[in-house]
Amino acid sequence: MDERDAGLWDALPDGVVIADGNGVVLLVNAGAREMLGDAAHVGADLAAAVPLQDQDAADWFSVVRPFEGLGTRSGVPEQSWLLPDGSEVLVTTRLLRSAPNGTVDRVALVLRSGRGRARLDRERSDLVATVAHELRSPLTGVKGFVTTLLSKWDRLNDEQKKLMLTTVSTDAERLSRLITELLDVARIDTGRLPLYRRELDATGVIERVIASVQTGTSRSVLLDAEDGEHPVFADPDKFVQVVTNLVDNAVRHGEGTVRVHLENTASGLRLTVDDQGEGIPEALRSRVFTKFWKHGVRGGSGLGMYIVNGLVRVHGGELRIGDAPGGGARITVDWPSADPRT
């Protein structure tokens, strides 16, 4: 193997070890040397060059037995092993034979650091903990009031019963909304979000959303739209979900008047939502689209903007965060007016 070939192997992000049919190491790239240390070198015995152990302290070579077993065996799927320093490494083994059912002529190992998987496991644990916390709060309220109603029904007057049942209904709606959001997140992450897109006029949709939001707040929400139609190509329900979330966020996290502006662009529709709150610092804007991100003291699941950004992107649009002219945050959404797939 010349220097050029060695350089190509060393350029790989994973560690690679290749041995011949006698267990003599033929190649060790830079990634493998960094993980395995001085024991891994050309000419070394494969068993000594791969000093890996499992959780029971059994070594890799005696467990995998690369030169034994059925003649049809072609390799070992990715497994977790421990380096001498205790850190995890993920190993995939390939067994190469010159003929079917023949002896093993080459053993190739690919080693990948387990840090990425550990990080993913931590993220999943954080996700489960956050979801559990978000679900537990309304469930606690529902359980408490239902228990009280069942045990003290005859001693409660009608007003007390109505208040408790209203609270239970509110908490149940919160649970239903959170579960819906979690389903949306899962569908966005897996690319399985069902869309039923068609052409629609955004003006009427946004006017209805603003009217709905206004019923639950004393804040003023103003729509500024250029004359004429404002066509978009979207799933109507998902478009309503995006607009509702943006306007509702502006109402909850801002102050003063919320302004919604609509204008047609060369490629579609531009929707701008301005609030008069404290805004979102530039250093934090990239975090807004992560799961369970929250800013300020007001409540919410922290999934809204992640879902909104996902819905905009699957429609072929773009969402940006900036500063409103009068202070506060400006959310700008560019939405296609025609089917971007054609």
pLDDT digits (tens, 9 = 90+) for 217-276: 888 899 998 888 888 999 999 999 999 989 988 888 777 889 999 999 888 899 999 988
Q: For 92-140, what is each residue's pLDDT tens digit? A: 999 999 888 889 999 999 999 877 666 666 666 666 777 777 788 788 8
Q: Which residue has the higher pLDDT, 198 or 114?
A: 198
pLDDT for 333: 93
Cβ atoms 49, 33 nearer than 8 A: no
Residue range 18-42: mean pLDDT, rounded: 92
Residue 47 has pLDDT above 90, yes or no: yes
Q: Which CATH number fits domain 118-190: 3.30.470.20, 3.40.50.2300, 1.10.1040.10, 1.10.287.130?
A: 1.10.287.130
* Cβ count within 10 A of residue 74: 11
Instruction: Compute the distance between CA of residue 91 and CA of residue 15 in angstroms, rounded to an integer.
Output: 9
Domain ranges of the chain: 3-113, 118-190, 198-336
Q: What percent of the chain has pLDDT over 90?
A: 38
**Is domain 198-336 in CATH 3.65.10.10, yes or no?**
no
Q: Looking at the chain, how many residues does it have? A: 342
pLDDT at 3 over 90: no
Closest to 241 in 3D by CA, of 137, 333, 133: 333
Residue 110 near residue 91 (C-beta atoms within 8 A): yes
pTM higher than 0.85 for the full model? no
Its CATH architecture, for the domain 3-113, is: 2-Layer Sandwich (3.30)
Span 137-195, pLDDT tens digits:
788 889 999 999 999 999 999 999 999 999 899 888 888 878 888 888 888 888 888 88
**Is residue 266 helix, strand or coil?**
coil
